[in-house]
Structure 1
Amino acid sequence: MIGISKYQFYDTHAHLDFEPFTDDMPRTIDLFLNAGIKQVMIPAVTRDKFDRLINISASNPNVYTIALGLHPLYIQSHTLSDLDYLETLLCTKDNSQIKAIGEIGLDAFLMHLSEEKLFKKQIDFLQKQLEMANRYNLPVILHSRRTHHVLLSILKKITVHRGGVIHGFSGSLEQALEFIKLGYKIGVGGIITYPRANKSRLAISKLPLESLLLETDSPDMPVYGRQGKVNRSECLIEIFQALCTLREEPAKVIAEQIWETSNTLFH
């Protein structure tokens, strides 16, 4: 059961612009606020989400922050005009709620040898958005699935001044440390609630506490025991509880440090 937390939390990755949240946004907000989630970052995935996210954040500025970017899974539909529109928004909008470029990155999970051209397009769009992050002094929210080695090589060539977060990290301790050396935080999600996720649980237990952020990736990536159900921001409490079992620091120290790290990165 999700209880009311005595700490305050920042869900640094939740797609609350998707159903079922858009059907009842006031209830969605009440549920996560009552659980102790005081701030939620909503990252975009495609151009058609940009204006919707701006409107969502404008209507709830004390609750939502947003990131605008083009997700690698939708690379077939992305066009150069989408990048131009993203830059136009960053130039002309009141972007006080736009705290990052994201969700961007690389994804080879669904890639086949015949799709090498699409992967090259992913790399091209990623590089262009990393450069855009520097032009507007924003951090990045990075998606990486079966591409950590490629992503690391790109980030070593293009230094993002504000850094960012490796979202939904499920790699090894060694890979996590490589990203941290480059100035990135590690997004800790529901995977650590799964007893068999030994590699990820070990990595998260040994990383510097100040390098960690908490995220749900709702409505996907449910925590253990909630498979098949909609993942919600208030499930962040269960991820925090799992994190506390993996770390040596007291729960209060963990909560306060992660809250500070999250706000420093995105504010």
Structure 2
Amino acid sequence: MLFDTHVHMNARQFIEDRDEVIKRAFETGVTHMVVVGFDRETIPLAIEIAEQYETIYAAVGWHPVDAIDMTDEDLAWIEDLSAHQKVVAIGEMGLDYHWDKSPKEIQKEVFRKQIQLAKKVEMPIIIHNREATEDIIEILKEEGASEVGGIMHCYNDSVQYVQTCLDMNFYISLGGPVTFKNAPLPKEVAKEVPLDRLLVETDAPFLAPHPNRGKRNEPAYVKLVAEKIAELRELSFEELSKKTTENAFSIFKINA
């Protein structure tokens, strides 16, 4: 039993074989997944996919790279969609200082609005962070995000920030980079995060784990992520899988 807590089955890379990829994941032991929508194109498709499969759910939010494109109408739309029975989180949201499409101040404003919305509808949030850790932590604290908590998606920061995230009621989710030979930070984090606050994900079609690095990622590969974390923690794969799945049920408020 595995739960891929962050996957983009709504991405264009899966247009031709989406159902086959999902079937392959189920056959590999991935029993649940959350498809993340993050703009006008991907949000409706995330919900559509979730409606087609009993154990697939959706998250709806606005990506920081495209923050400049979000309108008040979009925010109201996300609020309306949050009431859908298959929507389990608001996001992904956050800050991305790597790309320069959306100015930082606009990213921050959109980030704050989505946190406020999540608190209003009482749903956890999914955080995207790229080169913006200090600002993200500051905003999460100022906006009282601990009231709803959430997930630090594809965590790739140092161990020093882990406790701060835990104190704010967040889970730490690890993906493909934990398997990369030249990525020490996720490995250190994998060993340090309390087992009851750890999640696994693929972020497919991106960040495929070793030995598929550089290829299209898919949810079946979350097994490779879980196997690596189990090895690093000196746990059985079964124990790691069971606990991370239970954690996902908890944060998303899903009845097992």
TM-score when normalising by structure 2: 0.93
**Structure 2 residue aligned with 1:109:** 98
* Aligned mate of 2:143, from 158, 179, 190: 158
Deviation at residue 239 of structure 1 after TM alignment: 0.6
* Aligned mate of 1:119, from 104, 120, 126: 104
Instruction: Give structure 1 regions of 4+ aligned residues with deviation exceeding 6 angstroms.
Output: none
What is the DSSP-based 3-state SS (H/G/I as helix, E as strand, rest coil) of the residue aligned with 1:237?
helix
Segment of structure 1 superposing worse, 72-81 or 235-244? 72-81
* Aligned mate of 1:243, from 196, 206, 229: 229
Segment of structure 1 superposing worse, 45-54 or 180-189? 45-54
- Which segments of 5 or more consecutive residues in structure 2 lack a partner in the other structure? none
Deviation at residue 45 of structure 1 after TM alignment: 1.4
1:104-253 mapped onto 2 (5 Å cutoff) = 104-111=93-100, 118-160=103-145, 161-253=147-239
Deviation at residue 137 of structure 1 after TM alignment: 1.1
Identity value in percent: 25
Counterpart amino acid of 1:13?
H
**Structure 2 residue aligned with 1:50:** 43
Measure, in 2, the Cα distance between the counterparts of 1:82 and 1:153: 25
Deviation per CA, 1:142-176, whole angstroms, max 9, x where unpaired? Answer: 00011111111111112232210000111111111
Deviation at residue 228 of structure 1 after TM alignment: 2.5
1:205–1:247 contact (8 Å) kept in structure 2: yes
2:35–2:46 contact (8 Å) kept in structure 1: yes
* Aligned mate of 2:13, from 20, 43, 47: 20
2:60–2:82 contact (8 Å) kept in structure 1: no
Segment of structure 1 superposing worse, 48-57 or 223-232? 48-57
Over aligned residue pairs, what C-alpha RMSD do you find? 1.5
* Aligned mate of 1:32, from 20, 25, 29: 25
Bigger radius of gyration among the two: 1
Measure, in 2, the Cα distance between the counterparts of 1:51 and 1:200: 32
Deviation at residue 233 of structure 1 after TM alignment: 0.4
1:61-76 mapped onto 2 (5 Å cutoff) = 62-76=54-68
